[in-house]
Structure 1
């Protein structure tokens, strides 16, 4: 089931955010994610967030600012089981166009978004990590 984020979800959502970022971004020092944890925790409740819940346990979530996907995060052991696709399909039903940024070195994520008809519009440098990222767009 996909539902709107509730403030009581914050601790679990942040745990998934940290663990999945560390796993997906092996090319970025783990300390970067840990150093940004509190900042993200503070601003996250202001975003539009939908959580994927199974048997009352959060297994993933998507965060948006307007039609910009800040990220899709799935519990590490639940990845590649369709949860990310379900979350993406859910927001595709709500927005006629979407955009996002994804690190070029996050090959699994790049391939996932390309499979889901996102198109690379731009390549740029993320000044926070010195990593190349793609700006990708999708339209209905």
Structure 2
């Protein structure tokens, strides 16, 4: 009985010890977004983002929220012409690329289906490329 009490006390102590949390600081040094409007109403988008990381990181995230009657397709990411793994969770795209204390440039490409409102005499395109949810992947 005494040994069980000691083991239980040790286990409880482990849960009460605060865990070390690591934080990564980063800045986005450069971003360029090019949107190529197509006659069929689709938009081919290329994005280039340069991040300066201070600390360990596992990649970046990019939120792409389609507007009503549109959808995002064919999201791909590369760095120096090398494909990176992209996982989609709803409107959140996780781009995996680990590292520590370095500057990286990630190129994204995707298609916005029906992104242009096409009329007989003109087309209209407006799109919110950024919001507050675009952060790094820790």
Q: TM-score range by the shorter chain?
A: under 0.3
| Greater share of residues in helix | 1
Which structure exhibits the higher relative contact order, with contacts defined as CA atoms closer than 8 Å and separated by 6 or more residues? 2
TM-score scaled to structure 1, two decimals? 0.24
Q: Please tell me whether Structure 1 or Structure 2 has the larger radius of gyration of its CA atoms.
A: 2
| Greater share of residues in strand | 2
